[in-house]
Each structure stands twice: as structure tokens, then as C-alpha cells.
Amino acid sequence: MNILVINAGSSSVKYQLYDMENAIVLAKGRVERIGMDTAILMHEPANKPEFHKVDEILEHTTAIRRVLDVLVHPEHGVLSAISQIDAVGHRVVHGGESFKSSVLVTDEVKKEIRRLFDLAPLHNPAHMLGISAVEANMPGVPQAVVFDTAFHQTMPAKAYLYPVPMALYRKHKVRRYGFHGTSHKYVSERAAAFLGRPLERLKLITCHIGNGASCAAVWGGQSVDTSMGMTPLEGLMMGTRSGDLDPAIVPYVMGKEDLTIGEVSSMLNKHSGLQAISGISSDMREIVEAVEAGDKNAILAFEMYTYRLRKYIGAYAAAMNGVDAIVFTAGVGENSAPLRKAVCEGLSFLGVDFDEGANGLGRGIEKRITKLGSKVEALVIPTNEEWVIAQDTYSLLQEQPD
């Protein structure tokens, strides 16, 4: 069975085609700059050279058409017919309180995703464009949706409610939802397998540190707390996002700087974090280079970033009254040895006996970065959200009556 995984954004579509029986990626790629006459398709078929094409692609239906065309292209393709794609799985950022797990797309599901537009105005409308574009190009092919929020639906009320008037929750669903759930779930399961211990008995702190970053307290395989909130702005300091701050800063700065709601939101989401403090970049690679060159602002940015992450790890150890393992994943978590070192070396009080040698070795593999016998283990586990989406889609299809 072949499953196409789609991650549709407002001006981009990322895709990955899986052969499920053999658990291999047949092709992956993305379309960027949708809406422009210089849109670009970047296609990476397995065992064939990469293929790039600049083209006018004005909306998502055409973008999906181009993806399907290249997948069956005689030279660059990997299938002989589109009918060889059995199902499509979509990443959807916000499932609100309605979706506690992945589901097959129905009219009711689409209606509910639309109802959630208010909570994720930048993401959910784009995902719906992706779903409609697949419907238009591949009528009748089953589609599934996998939500970033679903894994965190197990959080108890004490973790997900904000201490503000309850009417805001009742009327407007103001609460913490958390994101990156697909990744936190996947790396928790992989960590248990790596440690050879049952997930049901483990207290894990999973750190998904990419452009966006969040950590989660995962107790017995269930998310009991996570650092992102009603939106992906809360929590850790990120590439361009502020993370936690005093909410009173928002009206204060709006008044002083004469900013609109849109402007202050853009400041906190796009012009804060590593970028704002370093004045150099939102990319951890460039920050680390500048730190090594002795740049003072980069050093401060790096210290703030790792300090805030370490504080969250301490908080989640307290939330679970203990921790067995800390897991690093995503672009920064998987690749930045200096980040892991800075965080783990300050956690010796918890029982983390950091292994600097292991930390510096090997990329893209699951590994332990604490010494043998360390009371609390630290692991690097590469995430694979697309594979989870493909697997969930596959399982939902298997559950369907013939």
C-alpha cells in the first residue's frame, strides 16, 4: 500500500510518499511560493536525481496536480499511475478539543476543522486547501487527518487551564492545547524501545527543538503537560518567537510604540527569540558559530535559550515527581551538540551524568548521551512526523469495514 503524506501551508505543500509494506520513502519534496508565477517544485525521488521546476502555480489544486504529475513522470516519477496511491494523510495543526486522535476525513470532520479556523488562523485554512485539492485531483481516495494537538488531549485540567475567568474557556475555548504532539508521541515510543523499558512505566521529558520548540512531560506514554499553549507562541524561547513573557508587556508596548494587535503579534511571533537577542539569525547553526567567534549578543541569546529550556525540564521533573529520561529531537535538538551540552550540564542535580564524548558522535541516529549508570538518561531520537502520519492513515484504513 502506498500512502501520500501532505503538509499544506498557506503558500507551500510538503509531501512524502511511502511504500508501507516495505516502510520506505519512495519520494519526497515540496512546492513553494504557491500563488506566484515563480512557484517552485522540488522533487526528491528515491534512487533518482533531484528534480526542480519553476512554474506558475496559483493555488493548491494546481500544486497537488503538479506533485501527482511528477510522481508518475516517466523520468522523475516513482509510480506508473496515480491509482497506485491508496490514501492520503494530512498534517493538521489544530484539532481543538474535538480530536483526540487521528481520523478519516468526512464531511463532519471537515466542518469541525473549519470551526477551528479561529484557533489556528494561519494553519487550519491552509490544511483545508490541501484536503480540497486532494479531493479535486483524486476523487474517492480516502484521506486521514493527524493533529498536532491530539497527543496533548490527555493533559489534566490543572495543566491545560489558564488562571483567567472561566467564561473565556466556556465561551471561546481559551485553554492550553499544545503542539508538536505527533513528534512528542513518536519520540516517547522510540525512547522506550531504545531503553528497552515499557513506556507505561516511564516518566519522560521530550524536547522538540526546531524553529518552533516545545517540551512535554510524558508520563506512562501520556502527555501530562507541554510548554506550548493556546497557540504555538507560549513556552520556550524559539528561533523568532518569544515564548513565555509577562502578558502585561503586550498592552504596555502597544501603548508606548503605538502598535496594532497585528503588529505586536508579528513582533512576538516573527521578530523575537534568538533572532531578536542575537541580532544575527534565528538559525542555531549561525548562533553557535557566532558564539564560537565570541559575539556577545550571540552568547546572550544562546544562554537565554538554553537557560529557559533547562528551567522547563526542571519544572516537568517536578510535575511528574521524577524523570527517567530526557529526549532531544527536531532540527536543533538532533543536531546541536553545544545546545545539548549547555542544557544537560546544568542538570547534574537531577542525576543526569552527561557524556560529552557520546554527545559529539554520530548524526541522525538514536543515541544515549549520558554515561552508563546515569540515574536520569538523556537521549537523542530523530523525529519522524511524516512516518507517524502515514502509519495512522494506514491503521485507520485497516479498521474500515470492507
Binding site for ligand ADP (CB under 6 A): 210-212, 239, 283-285, 330-332, 335-336
Instruction: Return the axis-axis angle of helices 261-270 and 249-257, rounded to nearest 10°.
Output: 120
CB nearer ligand ADP, residue 235 or residue 239: 239
Q: What are phi and psi of 196, to 5 degrees?
A: 65, 35
Ramachandran region of residue 7, left (φ > 0), alpha (ψ -120 to 50) or beta? Answer: beta
Alpha carbon separation from 298 to 239, 285, 365 (Å, rounded): 12, 11, 28
Give the angle 99-104-105 at the CA atoms, nearest 5°: 90
59 labeled part of a ligand binding site? no
Collapsed DSSP state (helix, strand, coil) of residue 108? helix
14 labeled part of a ligand binding site? yes
Minimum distance of ligand ADP from residue 239's CB (angstroms): 6
Minimum distance of ligand ADP from residue 329's CB (angstroms): 8
Which residues are marked as active site? Answer: 148
Contact 144/88 with Cβ under 8 angstroms? yes
The closest of 154, 55, 150 to 99, measured between CA atoms, is 150
197 labeled part of a ligand binding site? no
The tally of CA atoms less than 13 A away on the side-chain side of residue 228 is 28
Minimum distance of ligand ADP from residue 387's CB (angstroms): 15
CB nearer ligand ADP, residue 238 or residue 347: 238
Minimum distance of ligand ADP from residue 332's CB (angstroms): 4
Q: Which amino acid appears at position 391 of this protein?
A: Q
CB nearer ligand ADP, residue 145 or residue 332: 332
CB nearer ligand ADP, residue 82 or residue 122: 122
Alpha carbon separation from 98 to 16, 61, 124, 176, 232 (Å, rounded): 27, 27, 14, 14, 18
359 labeled part of a ligand binding site? no
283 labeled part of a ligand binding site? yes
Minimum distance of ligand ADP from residue 134's CB (angstroms): 22
Q: Which residue is nearest to ligand ADP (CB)?
A: 331
Q: Report how far residue 314's alpha carbon sits from residue 302's, in angstroms, rounded to the nearest whole number.
A: 18
332 labeled part of a ligand binding site? yes
CB nearer ligand ADP, residue 62 or residue 282: 282
The residues near 48 (Cβ < 8 Å, ≥ 6 apart) are 76, 78
The residue to which cell 496515480 is assigned: 82
Q: Report how far residue 333's alpha carbon sits from residue 219's, in angstroms, rounded to the nearest whole number.
A: 21
335 labeled part of a ligand binding site? yes
Minimum distance of ligand ADP from residue 210's CB (angstroms): 2
CB nearer ligand ADP, residue 79 or residue 326: 326
Q: Return binding residues.
A: 7, 14, 91, 208-212, 283-285, 331-335, 385
Q: Return binding residues for substrate.
A: 91
Q: Return binding residues for Mg(2+).
A: 7, 385
